[in-house]
Amino acid sequence: MSTLRTSLRGSVHMPSDLLGVRVEEERDALLKSPPRRRLAPEPEAPSVPVSDGSPRGARSAPVSSDDTKRTTPSPSKDGGAPSPPPSGEEPRASRDDRPPHVAAQTPDHVGRARAYDELEASASGGLDPASLRDAASKYSIHEQTLVPAPLPYDVPNGVRLLCTAIEGPDGGDDLRDALARACERFIDALPTGWIVHRNPPRSYHSTVFHTGHPTDPRPPRDAYDLAFEVREATQLVGGTTPIAVEVDRVVIASSGVLLALLRHPGGGESPVDGLRARCRRRWPRAPQRQATHVMHVSLCRVLRATPQCDGARWGEVLVRVREVSVELAGMRAQLGTVWHVQEKMQMTCGDEEAGCVVKRLRLGKDLK
């Protein structure tokens, strides 16, 4: 039995974002940047499209960020979900990608457990070849050394986002280090020869909201627009309480991404849920594809799964994932920082050494 499958659609209904992680999917046609937004009363929030925003063994080598090779965006048909589901950055789903049982009005924390169950089940039969190919297309892989180097985006400054940093003295640093150890244990269990890209622990984050998305880049018109966006983000984050998180589980998605899935302690509503809603009201013209339901941290992603392994060998990998999941489940932290990130290279969010411009925003500073 091969661990690679041609289709997952018949067995598991997954948000395409989760399957593609960052699921950085097939990229939509590039859109023009929106007109500059001036100071004005907040517009009414439009109906919020639901999308599940996002994640991927052989040992990986250090990642170089100086490769200037570029990729070409693949247009997708308007109004439809990409097929097959893309792979790439982090879990998200557009309106058409929404699982049938999750309505647009379903609060994030209510749909979270179901989304996590589906995500965990997605790789029970192996990894999705199309997702791996899509993820690998975002890297230049040296065929002699098998070192993957992320490629730059086609639209400079078109990808920007807010994300919760996995760091800090109130358990954040401990959680980051524990996740890094879990990632290494997972990679050690993979078949020899597989190519993997590790996300450096310094970049561990959980996506909140994209003001410019890899599938829908929105470069600022000028420095004023960018400064205005950062100022608005600072206000939104400053009015949000620090974010308490608890590890729900660790899973390998069919897209090849190893994910730590988080929740609010006890499973209730998280400050992240409210922050996402306020971001949508503040930026109503932002990309429709956004993170919903899922609070995840992408640890690493498989880019090439050859030689293929049989079902028994893949079962050993899943056993390792369950082991690290049991060890980490219930670990808690209170996170006090949200990053505003300008991502230059694909799949590198939060990694300043890879060229990201990171502005650190303090949660709750305006609540005192």
pLDDT digits (tens, 9 = 90+) for 72-128: 333 333 433 333 344 444 443 333 333 333 344 688 889 999 999 999 999 999 999
> Count of alpha carbons within 13 Å of 256, Cβ hemisphere only?
34
Residue 287 has what pLDDT?
Answer: 98
Residue 51 has what pLDDT?
Answer: 38
192 domain residue, yes or no: yes
190 pLDDT more than 60 = yes
Name the percent of the chain lying above pLDDT 90.
66
Residue with the larger pLDDT of the pair 29 and 320: 320
User: Which whole number is the average pLDDT over 250-277?
Assistant: 97
Q: pLDDT class for 251, splitting at 50, 70, 90? A: very high
pLDDT digits (tens, 9 = 90+) for 191-210: 999 999 999 999 999 999 99
Residue 145 has what pLDDT?
Answer: 82
7 domain residue, yes or no: no
Strand 243-252 and strand 257-263: the pairing is antiparallel
Q: How many domains does the chain contain in total?
A: 1
315 domain residue, yes or no: yes
258 pLDDT more than 90 = yes
User: Which whole number is the average pLDDT over 154-170?
Assistant: 97
Residue 144 has what pLDDT?
Answer: 80
Residue with the larger pLDDT of the pair 249 and 25: 249
Under 8 Å between Cβ of 207 and 90: yes
CATH of the domain at 166: 3.90.1140.10
Tokens of 11: 């067995």
Residue with the larger pLDDT of the pair 240 and 96: 240
Residue 192's CB: how many other CB atoms inside 10 A? Answer: 9
DSSP at 320: H
User: Which whole number is the average pLDDT over 130-152?
Assistant: 93
- Round the average pLDDT of the chain to a whole number and report it: 80
**Strands annotated E in 71-223:** 139-141, 148-150, 160-165, 195-198, 205-212
Under 8 Å between Cβ of 173 and 167: yes
264 pLDDT more than 60 = yes
Under 8 Å between Cβ of 294 and 91: yes
67 pLDDT more than 90 = no
Which residue type occupies 277? A
Report the greatest alpha carbon distance in the chain.
60
Is residue 307 reached through a cis peptide bond, with omega within 30 degrees of 0 on the bond before it?
yes
40 domain residue, yes or no: no
44 domain residue, yes or no: no
Residue 33 has what pLDDT?
Answer: 37
Residue 105 has what pLDDT?
Answer: 63
Alpha carbon distance 210, 218 (integer Å): 10
* pTM, to two decimals: 0.74
Residue with the larger pLDDT of the pair 298 and 15: 298
269 domain residue, yes or no: yes
Residue 142 has what pLDDT?
Answer: 87
39 pLDDT more than 90 = no
pLDDT digits (tens, 9 = 90+) for 310-331: 899 999 999 999 999 999 999 9
Give the closest residue to 51 by CA, choosing from 245, 243, 214, 248: 214
Mean pLDDT is lowest, of 126-135, 253-262, 307-316, for 307-316
71 domain residue, yes or no: no
Residue 233 has what pLDDT?
Answer: 98
Alpha carbon distance 76, 265 (integer Å): 39
203 domain residue, yes or no: yes
**Strands annotated E in the chain:** 139-141, 148-150, 160-165, 195-198, 205-212, 243-252, 257-263, 296-304, 332-335, 337-342, 357-362
Give the range of the structural domain holding residue 152, as residue numbers without chain letter. Answer: 16-26+51-59+80-362
What is the C-alpha R_g of the chain? 19
Alpha carbon distance 271, 233 (integer Å): 15
Collect all residues with Cβ–Cβ distance below 8 Å to 51 and sequence separation of at least 6: 15, 17, 92, 93, 94, 95, 97, 98, 288, 289, 290, 291, 292
Angle at 241 between CA 235 and CA 243, to 5 degrees: 115
Residue 310 has what pLDDT?
Answer: 86
User: Which whole number is the average pLDDT over 232-258?
Assistant: 98
Q: pLDDT class for 143, splitting at 50, 70, 90? A: confident
